[in-house]
Amino acid sequence: MLNQHHINKVYLALGPTDLRKSINGLSLIVQESFKLNPFSHDLFVFCNRKQDKLKILEWDNDGFWLHYKRLEKSRFRWPDGTTGSTVMIDERQFRWLLDGLSIHQKGAHSAVKERIII
């Protein structure tokens, strides 16, 4: 599940997606349209036209998870782009998106890559 492990890559499906699709339909989009492997340990995120709902497809060793989030009074800050293409973001940007923020935070601190060990 989303909070149980480190997230490698997150792919956002640009443009609106028909969220009536379930696991089979979304995994087919990942495989056929995006030319990516739905059985990888990456997340594939889809948003509807009104940008108030999203679905997240995740493979978990023996089956798929399908996460669904619906906002009641606001919209996701979904990036613009051509329908049928993807953009890859990191876990930090993904958390911003889920919190209703843009994936491009100009005032955010840079991620620390190195640590000092004492």
pLDDT, one tens digit per residue, over 60-108 is 989 999 999 999 999 999 988 777 789 999 888 899 899 888 887 776 6
pLDDT, one tens digit per residue, over 9-59 is 999 999 999 999 999 999 999 999 999 999 998 999 999 999 999 999 999
The pTM assigned to this predicted structure is 0.84
User: Which 3-state string (H, E, C) describes 58-114?
Assistant: EECCCCEEEEEEECCCCCCCCCCCCCCCEEEECHHHHHHHHCCCCCCCCCCCCCCCC
Backbone angles phi, psi at 50, to 5 degrees: -80, -10
Reported confidence tier of residue 5, pLDDT bands at 50, 70, 90: low
Tokens matching residue 14: 């640009």
Contact 48, 42 (CB under 8 A): no
Number of residues that make up the chain: 118
